[in-house]
Amino acid sequence: MPLVNLSNLPSFARLQEEGEAILSAERAQQQDIRELHIGLLNMMPDAALEATERQFCRLVGACNQIVQFHVHIFTVEGIERGLEAQNHIDTYYESFDEIQQDGLDALIISGANVTHAHLQEEAFWEPLTEVFNWAKKNVTSVLCSCLATHALIQKCYHIERTRLTHKRWGVFEHTVLDNNHPLVSDINTRFDVPHSRFNEQFQSDLEQAGLKVLVASEEAGAHLFVSPDGFRFVFFQGHPEYDAVSLLKEYKREVNRYIDGELTNYPPLPDNYFNPLCIAQLEQYKKHVESAVKNKQTPDAFPEQALTNHLDNTWRDTAKAVFNNWLGKIYQITHQDRRQALMPGIDPQNPLNL
């Protein structure tokens, strides 16, 4: 269903070029179609800021409910920004004050980069918890990704994340653990999910706190889990929103950090991501870079374009299905809330069987 371009965000022009249905705010006002207002709190670093906008908007726009999706993008203080990214935010993003005034039906909170051992030491911790507190009282459902998941689980359930011995990085097979939950209705029972993190909150700790784990991986741990009520808070430890090239771009940034002297060791390849042809090419490039660095020469450019056509996306369809289930339930709940507001005598008991 169509996305509504509320602020002439450049990402919407990109999405429209890809074939997504995008309406101007003026055109949307002329259509007699229900609206759902979805917030996107984008905390990703500058290099991934606009890509994250597009990734989550694609998943929202893929929902098959007959509704206009008004996506309200904002961020919080305490995240270091370069001039270009800050200008982008100042020009196209809404403020949290505006978000609170206008209200939301649902909220998505992205991951973020961190610089401290404990999340509560991050400069964005207090602004982020302010958003949490408001959303808990005012938003039908909140969906958290990666770092946002770790932060909200820590705040609400007092489970701190654990530092892993090595980065959980790559594409991992996952299994649905509860086929009856509406969020995983009619999806593949086995599917892949990308992960990119140094920390984890473990399935046993989550379940002991009363959270319901719906999807998990033997290698990567719990991925999709929900608050005890089954729907108010939805958590991802992985990145189902990622494009096929997202891990490639991350790997390229890590290689460039090694070239620039920020890393002492050449970065390992993401697990289960590159095919044998790509691996052979990247191993050859690694030898070239290490030789160039040793001899204080400038290495050839990273072969990004040559690798792109060999990448598979083995998670997007399932991610779309989960988002469709999530937004579909929000559609039902908000529709029921509106009916009750118009007809106060109606008092259905748990219409979503959650």
What phi and psi values does residue 296 have, to the nearest 5 degrees? 55, 45
Strand partners, 170: 195, 271
CA distances from 126 to 15, 82, 131, 154 (A): 33, 21, 9, 13
Non-local CB neighbours of 280 within 8 Å, separated by 6+ positions: none
Question: Which amino acid, one-letter code, is at 184?
Answer: V
Both tokens assigned to 49? 């800021």
> Could you confirm whether 219 is annotated as catalytic?
no
Residue (of 318, 347, 350) closest to 332 by Cα position: 350
Strand partners, 226: 212, 234
137: three-class secondary structure by DSSP = helix
Which residue among the candidates 50, 122, 241, 254 is catalytic per the annotation?
A: 241
Which residue among the candidates 122, 146, 174, 254 is catalytic per the annotation?
A: 146
Which residue among the candidates 200, 239, 250, 278 is catalytic per the annotation?
A: 239
Strand partners, 163: 199
310: three-class secondary structure by DSSP = coil
In contact, 266 and 257? CB cutoff 8 Å:
no
CB atoms within 10 A of CB 18: 9
CB atoms within 10 A of CB 33: 11
> Could you confirm whether 241 is annotated as catalytic?
yes
**DSSP character for 77?**
S
CB atoms within 10 A of CB 147: 24
Q: Where are the beta strands (DSSP E) in the chain?
A: 3-5, 22-24, 35-41, 68-74, 106-109, 141-145, 162-176, 190-200, 212-217, 221-226, 233-236
> Could you confirm whether 146 is annotated as catalytic?
yes
Both tokens assigned to 159? 């489970």
234: three-class secondary structure by DSSP = strand
In contact, 182 and 200? CB cutoff 8 Å:
no
Which active-site residues does the annotation give? 146, 239, 241
